[in-house]
Structure 1
Amino acid sequence: MNRAVVRWAAVAAVLFVFFLLLTVPARHAWGWLGGGQLAVQGIEGTLWSGRVAHLANPAHPVFPVGPLAWHVRPQALLLGRLEYQVFVQSGTGGGELRVGRGLFGGASVTAAHLSVPAADLAQGLHLNLLTLAGEFQIDIDELRLSADGSGALPSVLEGVLVWRDARVVQPSPLSLGQLRMQLGLREGQVVGALSDEGEGGSLELSGELSIGADRQYRLDALLKPRATADAPLREALGLLGAPDAQGRYRLQYSGAL
């Protein structure tokens, strides 16, 4: 038999099996893919396109998710990648993202645009003595994991986290404006460069949050009240100690996740 015919027949067989797998009901594939560790309700559809009504991790029930829907992006298949467009909701927050994996590369997340109310985040993290307001918006341009799955940190990370209309409600009302953390990698660490967006906010912020592969983190920030800052904010900053020559208060903290 002609070698070219055999080669194309093999390619056709592989593609047939691949597309056949994508039509497998999602409820059957869930167990095969190791999803048994998660609590799932209302799963329907196929690996090609489907949805889950509710999804949670019993071991870490911080942010229950649902509904969550997905569908394959056919154009990515032409580039040798299996890529999904995912739509997710969690409480009153949610958004969309692309999740994919190449033939020889690791898993990736791109074009992610997600939001979560600050109050929900504080509640999910069990910050019982702290009530927050505003909204956290996270935009991930690119996040990639190593192909062999090794390493606790991503191999590529580009994104930004913004706390819009940042406010502390309890234990003392504080208006912080709009705060920003630019996400990236440096010397084997995840690094978040802290700043304020200066849009009428009463707090000037600069500094850095770093997280290592050993899950140790370090926060080093400088905070300064603007002329518009109210008395509660100035009093709260005063608890950090004496300001420097520029009127900035230093906040340093470290620990493990």
Structure 2
Amino acid sequence: MKRIKYLILGVMVYLIFLVVLMPASVVLRFVTLPPQVKINGVDGSIWHGSIDTVQAYGRQAEQVEWQIHPLSLLTGALNLDVNVGNRNSAIYGKTNLTLTPSTVKVMDLMLQTDSQTVIGKARLPFRSEVAGEINLSVSEFAYGQPWCERLSGHLQLHNLEVNNQFGDFPFGSFRLGMDCDQGDVIVTTTEKDNQIGVSGRLWLKANAQVQLQAKIKPTNNMPANVRDNLNFLGQPDAQGAYPLTYSGRVPGL
């Protein structure tokens, strides 16, 4: 009887070590990826591994690393830390993820990239080209229909510039607050959060629909070519602010 117990214990220990030390490259052989996603240079185990490059939908992330916290499995969840790139990479970020059968939670997300990486090959209205740096910070996010159940964070845009058939528009820097309302992502800004006097709110809704209700009021820091084109937005209100409204699909999608 003791021999059987020892045998069973030995088999269990062997299986545990087998799972813990299983190479990530072996596991990924059994994973069917979308045709738009390619990975190269897989190293390490499923618990602590790395990927040299991940190509997805015309964008590329480098030096993707993850580390799973095994004790989280006891609660029926998968908790892991994820790091992407370095400060010289096109995409640099880190976060803590919790995955369950019903939801995805993100904690302490930090992401640095640029507008060209985000926009990719999407065609924007008026043949617009956008340049600028993007810093995203999210303290908490929980997935829900259509986008979120909880969201707390902010988005910073630096040296934002739009070039199109109407001219060059250097908009400068923006700080945008982010939260969640009935599943929609809400993005807000005030006149104090940017140098061109924009204030208002944007709703990101289901099916990539977006609604914008905002206004722009001339400031001393507003570039002349931006000020000269404000009349195209309509008539200003009593405070001298011009309307910024839009309702439809996200431009470029």
TM-score bracket for the superposition, by shorter chain length = 0.7 to 0.9
Q: What CA distance in whole angstroms lies between the structure 2 residues aligned with 1:215 and 1:122? A: 15
SS of the residue corresponding to residue 179 of structure 2 reads strand
Q: Deviations over 1:183-224 (max 9, x none)?
A: 1111332211133545xx540111111122343221111111
Give the superposition deviation at 1:74.
5.8
The answer to whether the 8 Å contact 2:202/2:211 transfers is: yes
1:29 corresponds in structure 2 to 27
| Matching residue's letter, 1:230 | P
Q: How does 1:203-214 map to 2 (within 5 A)?
A: 203-214=196-207
Unmatched 5+ stretches in structure 1: none
Alignment match of 1:106 (pick from 103, 106, 113): 103
Q: Secondary structure at the match of 2:19?
A: helix
The superposition leaves residues 23-81 of structure 1 with CA deviations (integer Å, 9 ceiling, x where unpaired) of: 32112222434435421111221111111122123xx32x2222311122467568764
Equivalent position of 2:80 in the other structure:
84
Which TM-score applies when normalising by structure 1?
0.77
Identity in percent:
24
Task: State the partner residue of 1:175.
Answer: 170
Task: Work out whether residues 175 and 202 of structure 1, in 8 Å CA contact, stay in contact via their aligned partners in 2.
Answer: no
Q: Does 1:118 align with 2:112?
A: no
Alignment correspondent of 2:66: 70
Q: What residue in structure 2 maps to residue 51 of structure 1?
A: 50
Within 5 A, what are the aligned runs for 1:216-255? 216-255=209-248
What TM-score results when the alignment is normalised by the length of structure 2? 0.79
Q: Structure 1 residues 123, 28: closer, same or farther in 2, change over 3 A?
A: same
C-alpha distance in 2, partners of 1:89/1:33?
23
1:50 counterpart letter in structure 2: G
Number of aligned residue pairs: give it: 239
C-alpha distance in 1 between matches for 2:153 and 2:147: 15
CA distance in 2, matches of 1:162, 1:225: 21
Stretch of structure 1 that moved more, 114-123 or 133-142? 114-123
Q: Deviations over 1:86-110 (max 9, x none)?
A: 11139533111112225x7622111
Contact 2:204–2:211 (CA under 8 A) maintained in structure 1: yes
Unmatched 5+ residue regions in structure 2?
none
Whole-Å Cα distance in 1 between the matches of residues 160 and 17 of structure 2? Answer: 47
